A and B are shown apart, each in its own frame.
Chain A
Amino acid sequence: MSIYDLTFYLFAAITVISAFFVVTTRNIVYSAYYLLFTFFGVAGIYVLLGADFIAVVQLVVYVGGILILLLFGVMLTNKITNVQIKTGTVKLVPAVVGVALLAGVLGASLLNTNWKTISSEVPFSTTHSLGLLLMQQYAVVFELLGILLLIALIGAASMARK
């Protein structure tokens, strides 16, 4: 087993274990911090795949943005940490059907995808080509997404004023 494999398993273990604790722990602040490790693990896997830009964006958006916002929400809410989160089983049948369907779809796509395997090469930076793609081929989509985010922002601000 090479150092590359070891690193992969390390990050995979961090991701999976912390994701498991995100859903099972009863303390909402702990959940949020386990999520931090999940994001970190995913970012590590991106780096191993040679997607350096996505890895860093993952950190900026999820750790720097969403997670901090989540923590702010939790900490500003009065006595939210004392609330016991219910983790019992309700509606067993629909849940089982849903999970089975999702697992089936994921499993089928795993088995049926024609995985491209390329022999490992020295990773190169993706930033330049990604920037060109976003500004040329997908410029319209990129701008539309920007407008969508702006609309969401204005909506949030106007709701907060009420």
Chain B
Amino acid sequence: MTYDFFFNLTGSYVWADIIQSLLPLFIFILPFALFAVWLERKVSAHMQDRLGPMRVGKHGWLQTVADIIKLIQKEDIVAENNDKPLFNLAPVLVFVGTYAAFAAIPFSSAYIGSNIDLGVFFIVAVSSFVVAGILMAGWSSNNKYSLLGAMRSAAQIISYEIPTVLVIITIVMITGTLNLGTLSEMQTGHFWNWMIFGGPTFGLTKILLIPFMILAFGIIYTSTLAEVNRTPFDIPEAESELVSGYHTEYSGMKFAMFFLAEYANMFAVSAIVAALFFGGYQSPVGYLGNLFNIPWLVPVEQLFWFTAKGLFFVFVQMWLRWTLPRLRVDQLMQVCWKYLIPLAFVNLIVVGLLTLL
């Protein structure tokens, strides 16, 4: 719908495409990252019984803006022995991989960057660019902390991709679609139609599915947490052992790009979890727009609900970060290969049998 609007506005497919594809960046990711960094600092501060940023703006809400201005002004340091082409390309590659995922995320029924049928599968595929970018950053920095951090990060991301994909397959098996837009449309109505409550069709299967859906949600939330390198899985940048992991050598805007990619990624995985289990952009209770018969209000409300769900899961990520200690490397792999993957497999088989009922 937004696409048609831009097409009518500019009269050219090319311009409509470009505007459509830039929308999430300027309307969403940049303001979100500014807000999320501030929120993270506030959440951590309040959990540790201190105030956090207070000076710039009321309760420090302009702090990240000030930080960004500082980062833009900083000198871009490239050390003598860095591999310059790869060193400069790595932040771009990481950000591209993250941003590409936003193409398939359904923000509202009026705006899905590209409503492709492969939806979730596409998001899983493009996230591999992030792994390549992280390895590139670690290797080109020519620094052992960077390299170790990059290796850990890559190993962790590809290991935890397996339980994620297994849970996605579980959902796809029930709904029969990979398209996140269609998936959200299916969970319309009220919150008991959400996948976490067994999906939209009523019956015995729906009730039997609920515990397995909750288990599936637990698995995917844990593994996406590991995929975005958040505590308790933040061993790639474990400050106490690796300085700062793969972006140790980066400064200025390049560091800011890694930071932006990290926060964008946090929202992306939260959005996927919301779209798979919590009805995507659907409201849990119904729309004001339908009540008062204002058609244009419905997509706006959907955008609100989607953002609210995404932000809630981002908040849970922060909450966990400041609650749990960090795992060890061997424990990390054990959690994935010995617990999450077998659980996800059993869950997949049980849900498969249940859907045959």
Contacts and interface: CB of A to CB of B under 8 A. Distances in A.
B148 to A, nearest CB: 10
Contacts of A68: 128, 131-132, 135, 154, 158
Given A64-B125, A68-B158, A127-B118, A29 B13 contact: no
Contact of A33 (B86, B122, B158): B86
A59 B128 contact: yes
A73 to B, nearest CB: 12
B118 A59 contact: no
B147 interface: yes
Contacts of B135: 68, 71-72, 75
A162 to B, nearest CB: 21
Contacts of A52: 116-118
Contact of B128 (A29, A53, A64): A64
Nearest to A71: B135
Contacts of B14: 3
Given A3-B14, A64-B125, A125 B117 contact: yes
A72 B147 CA distance: 11
A60 B124 contact: yes
**Chain A contact residues: over half helix, strand or loop, or mixed?**
helix
Interface in A54-75: 56-57, 59-60, 63-65, 67-68, 71-72, 75
A22 interface: no
Nearest to A60: B125
Q: How large is the interface on B (under 10, 10 to 19, 20 to 34, 35 or more residues)?
A: 20 to 34
A14 interface: no
A67 B116 contact: no
A60 B178 CA distance: 15
B348 to A, nearest CB: 16
B139 interface: yes
Contacts, number: 65
Contact of B151 (A53, A63, A64, A72): A72
A26 B139 CA distance: 17
Interface string B132-170: 100110110000000100110011001001000000000
Interface in A27-61: 29-30, 33, 36, 52-53, 56-57, 59-60
Query: Contact residue range for chain A?
Result: 20 to 34
B contacts with A: majority SS: helix
Contacts of B161: 64
Contacts of A29: 83, 86, 139
Which of B118, B151, B161 has the most chain A CB atoms inside 10 A of its CB? Answer: B118
Given A68-B154, A127-B178, A56 B132 contact: no
A67 B158 CA distance: 12
Nearest to B158: A68
A160 B147 CA distance: 24
B84 to A, nearest CB: 12
Contacts of A75: 135, 138-139, 147, 150-151
Nearest to B17: A3
Nearest to B97: A63
Interface string B71-90: 00000000000010010000
Interface in A66-117: 67-68, 71-72, 75-76
B129 interface: yes
Interface string A124-147: 010100000000000000000000
A64 to B, nearest CB: 3
B88 to A, nearest CB: 12
Contacts of A65: 128
A72 B153 CA distance: 12
Contact of A53 (B83, B118, B132, B150): B118
A76 B118 CA distance: 34
A127 B117 contact: yes
B19 interface: no
Contacts of B138: 75
Nearest to B136: A33
A56 B122 contact: yes
A59 B139 contact: no
9 contacts: A3-B13, A33-B136, A56-B118, A56-B121, A60-B124, A63-B132, A65-B128, A71-B132, A75-B138
4 closest A-B pairs by CB: A64-B128, A125-B117, A59-B125, A56-B125
Interface of B: 13-14, 83, 86, 116-118, 121-122, 124-129, 131-132, 135-136, 138-139, 147, 150-151, 154-155, 158, 161, 178
Interface of A: 3, 29-30, 33, 36, 52-53, 56-57, 59-60, 63-65, 67-68, 71-72, 75-76, 125, 127
